[in-house]
Amino acid sequence: TDRETTTTTNCITLMFKGSEMMKKVEHFYTRNSGRLCGYTPKDNYRNEDYLLSGMRETSISIRVTSCNFVMPWKELTEYQRNSMQQKYSDGCECEIIPCYSKPCKPSRHWETQCIWELENSRSGQRYDYRACLKTSSGTCKWD
C-alpha cells in the first residue's frame, strides 16, 4: 500500500493565493510514491525555498503532488518570481487546468480557464514567460 508523508511547517514565508482561507495551514501531505503523483524534493533542495501549488484538504492542511506545480524558487525564471508578487494576482479569478495528453479540451467553464499542456511543459516558453490572466472581455488566456 502507498502511505502518505506529512510535512509539518511553520515556515510559510509568502502565500500568493487564498491567504485568508489558508492562514492556519500547518501540514503539507503527499504520497510516498512518485507513481501516484507523490512528490519528494531532491536531496540537494531539501532546505531550499519552494513554490508549491496544491489543494486545500482541511483548514490546516494542503495536499501537494508532482501533478501540481512544484519548483524550487531558485529555478523559477526572473519573470516568474517577479510576476508572483505583481502580475499573477490579476489572474486570481482564472483557473489553470493541467492537461497530461493531447487533445487538451477545456471544461464547460472554459472562459475562466487556461490549459496547461504538461506533455511538453518544459520545452517551450509559454509557462516560463507567460501568465494566465483575465482579459478585458472577462475571459482568461495565456498572456
Q: What is the pLDDT along the chain (143 residues), one digit of tens a residue?
A: 345 554 544 455 666 666 666 667 766 667 665 565 666 666 655 677 877 777 777 777 777 766 667 778 888 888 888 877 777 666 778 888 878 777 887 777 788 888 887 765 554 455 677 888 889 998 998 88
Could you give the CA distance from residue 76 to residue 79 in angstroms, rounded to a whole number? 8
What Cα–Cα distance (Å) separates residue 7 from each residue in 46, 51, 135, 137?
A: 12, 15, 38, 41
3-state secondary structure at position 43 = helix
pTM over 0.85: no
Q: Which domains does the chain have, with CATH numbers?
A: 1-75 (2.40.50.120), 77-143 (3.90.370.10)
